Amino acid sequence: MKITGRTAVYGIIGYPVKHSLSPLMQTSAFQELGLDAVYVPFEVPPENLEDAVKGLRALSVRGFNVTVPHKEKVAQLVDYLTEDAEILGAVNTVKNEGGELTGYNTDAEGFLRSLIEEGVELEGKRALMFGAGGAARAVGYALLKGGVKFLNIVNRSFSKAKKMAEILGRRGNVLVYPLKEGTVEALLKDADIIVNTTSVGMKEGDPQLFDYSKIPSGITVVDIIYNPPQTPLLKAAKEKGCKTINGLGMLVHQGAVAFEIWTGKKAPVEKMKKVLEEELY
């Protein structure tokens, strides 16, 4: 592509940022639509975050994504927050309009779109979510927004689960449980959809999060991990005849929503997914 004085600059801030797939995905989207824009990585250590955000504003960078560990702090540094970003207390996308920064969170919407794409119906369903970290917060919020009737949350650290339920509990029926075999077994029996938001399954040789032989057949099982493409949880679920969904769709769609916020154009989702699949698998 030709970079000129008119080329719009976008980017991502994180620490580390080297492994981020967003530059590849967003650049391919700009190119697919023939937009005069570039997207670059900025590695920003926590002590430089405030200066970096001021710099991005001063340089008229049109928009940027925010990744670990800056999502919460950036929510304090922008001028405006959308409702989702405010509720989640975390920003993953910023739009710069004439020096005024608006913080968005596209993780929840991205997760929902990835389920819609797969034809998953949430209305009135009973969901069982594992994990209580940053990702869990967005996913739990999305499940409630999508209309689940009950959201049961299981986490190794029970205190962390309770803290998260205080926030999500305002939006629906949320109950929390510790990660114990008998407890999980009972919860599995009346779950319509299971979602793993923990990092268990990312590394080869990870132990099972719970006894996967107890997954009921025919339900929907989602793992937000995208690498490997099929975690042991998803593999076991598939063998039980469950509908299985990995985290690639969430990754693509959170990026697609960001792209749409910045450009006002429909994101080339298939192209974005394809470049990621080629890079990852």
Cβ nearer to ligand ATR, comparing 133 with 229: 133
Cα–Cα distances (Å) from 82 to 44, 87, 94, 165, in that order, read 24, 9, 10, 21
Shortest Å distance, C-beta 181 to ligand ATR: 13
Shortest Å distance, C-beta 107 to ligand ATR: 10
Shortest Å distance, C-beta 222 to ligand ATR: 14
Cβ nearer to ligand ATR, comparing 135 with 276: 135
Read off the tokens for 4.
Answer: 């000129």
Q: Which residues bind ligand ATR (CB under 6 A)?
A: 131-136, 155-157, 160, 179, 197-200
d(CA 187, CA 190): 6
Catalytic residues: 71
d(CA 73, CA 26): 23
Cβ nearer to ligand ATR, comparing 198 with 254: 198
Cβ nearer to ligand ATR, comparing 57 with 162: 162
The residue number whose beta carbon is nearest to ligand ATR equals 133
Q: How far apart are the first and last CA of the chain?
A: 26
Shortest Å distance, C-beta 180 to ligand ATR: 12
Contact 148, 165 (CB under 8 A): no
* Burial (0-12, 13-18, 19+ Cβ within 10 Å), 149: middle
